[in-house]
Chain A
């Protein structure tokens, strides 16, 4: 693959997604607005009484404070991953949007990069809203917490890229159930989201360390609460390598799928 196939033109495709999104943004922002409220209500009112406090990163945290940054991280994963799976698949297969674009000076690589960057943008927007809601409840320390927005974009690239890789290889849209069941759901449950990874048995810990969501959760706790259990720099590095690797794989498999 030559590098000249990727230029700033990808921004035009990003803009197209933004223009389309402006038609439905009011509906799409209800989720990041209400989801943290639901979780805070359920866990803060119902669950915290049973669980009590959580020891994390050398401090005692209320259970709700513990899960609040993880809610942002999982929203990043969901927004980016669902955008480049279901939404990209619809654009690619049903709406043939990419076919139309390929009759213009855009390259397939620019379209793919734009899809990933767009999914990260959506993830960052959702994170910003959740940050506001959770901040209002005092679960986020400012000003450091604002860093969760660029962090969401960064993490969004990783999840958007892996999503688009699946879009490149999946035969039908129904089969996205498989990566969701095998990849997204286990990550959602075992990435230190609802309990610290240090509570896992020894054999399960490396598994959690392999989950990109675990590293994003750690980094979110760092910027929101100033606490962490993994080495932040290694988490940044892991997400960067993961994102880069799956961006390359998405480029390879989407090209193979679209160009015949």
Chain B
């Protein structure tokens, strides 16, 4: 755990830890008969790209909504920029950008008006707002649709516009709730590219997503939550090394001999019936032995991924 702590706090020269951008302590959220968030604690350091992963209904969006002051916690403390969200919500909200899961754009307004009107909620003067809108539309490749109605935009363009809108107040913290859900691969890669550029500029970002590829690519550090609790916390690489291993072998049509072998060798594996997935621990490459003795039908030799980690920790049953 000591190593993890060091990851969390970038140190200024002089060795004083920088104050975290987000500091969440013992957060609970109860609805009538369910506990959506059940004692969650985490911190996010300045400049960090932090991921919040979990299956549907795990409490990701509920947590995010409490972070940006939309819904009040049942219990627990949320400090952002060192301020308490319950008390200084207005000051905090002025400095964060939020990209919500739903499309909350104004369908009656044009692309540019959406940015300018939204900027007015932050008390940004209209001339300045128009300048920023121009820059953001350029950055998100929407300049040529400046006067289009939102209703005429494609799904990818709508997402980019919501992202652009969340940056109109030049936030110090960007909160993204499933920013690429429902996008085609081209649009998704375009969004990733922009997010990487924002991260390079030093922006702190919190992301929730279902896409493990997205989390692996973008996040410096992430937590996996399920049933309102944090299961693990670490960098994507560290989590893969710990919970999936570098080498993964999928074996189709496994026989009893294989099952006995795995038991005898105590190899971590998931038995799905017609398919067995085995995770070779570090320094124990089983590829050769498996290839020679047990590959009767189809074997896939691949690297461990965040998806393996996710499925191992949260199970394979359907949610909802």
Contact = CB atoms under 8 A, between A and B. Distances in A.
B98 interface: yes
Given A102-B70, A103-B68, A260-B71, A20 B122 contact: no
A100 to B, nearest CB: 3
Contacts of B121: 9, 12-13, 101, 104-106
A96 B104 CA distance: 5
Contacts of B93: 103-105
Contacts of A100: 100, 104-106, 118
A77 B190 CA distance: 49
B103 interface: yes
Nearest to A4: B90
B108 interface: yes
Central interface residue in B108, B118, B169, by most chain A CB within 10 Å = B108
A99 B100 contact: yes
B98 A103 contact: yes
A20 B109 contact: yes
Interface residues of A, number: 23
B208 interface: no
Contact of B71 (A12, A95, A259): A259
B122 A16 contact: no
B255 to A, nearest CB: 52
A97 interface: yes
A20 B113 CA distance: 10
B72 interface: yes
A19 B106 CA distance: 11
A12 B104 contact: no
A101 B104 CA distance: 9
B106 A95 contact: yes
A40 to B, nearest CB: 33
Contacts, number: 68
Contacts of A9: 121, 123
B76 to A, nearest CB: 17
Report the contact-size class of chain B (Cβ under 8 Å from the partner).
20 to 34
Interface in A92-147: 95-97, 99-107
A15 interface: yes
Contacts of A20: 106, 108-109
Given A16-B117, A104-B122, A105-B121, A95 B90 contact: no
B117 A95 contact: no
A103 B102 contact: no
B94 interface: yes
Nearest to B102: A96
A120 B102 CA distance: 30
Contact of A16 (B103, B120, B166): B120
Contacts of A95: 104, 106-107
A241 to B, nearest CB: 31
B241 to A, nearest CB: 36
Given A9-B123, A100-B100, A260-B71, 20 more contacts: A9-B121, A12-B121, A15-B120, A20-B109, A23-B108, A95-B106, A95-B107, A96-B100, A96-B103, A96-B104, A99-B70, A99-B102, A100-B106, A102-B69, A103-B93, A103-B98, A104-B121, A104-B122, A105-B121, A107-B90
Can you list the 8 inter-chain pairs with the closest CB atoms, starting with the nearest?
A: A100-B104, A103-B98, A104-B121, A96-B104, A20-B108, A105-B93, A105-B94, A105-B90
Interface of B: 31, 68-72, 90, 93-94, 96, 98, 100, 102-109, 113, 117-118, 120-123, 166, 169
28 contacts: A9-B121, A12-B121, A12-B123, A19-B109, A20-B109, A23-B108, A24-B108, A95-B104, A96-B100, A96-B102, A96-B104, A97-B104, A100-B100, A100-B104, A100-B118, A101-B121, A102-B70, A103-B68, A103-B93, A103-B96, A103-B104, A104-B93, A104-B118, A105-B93, A105-B94, A106-B121, A260-B31, A260-B71
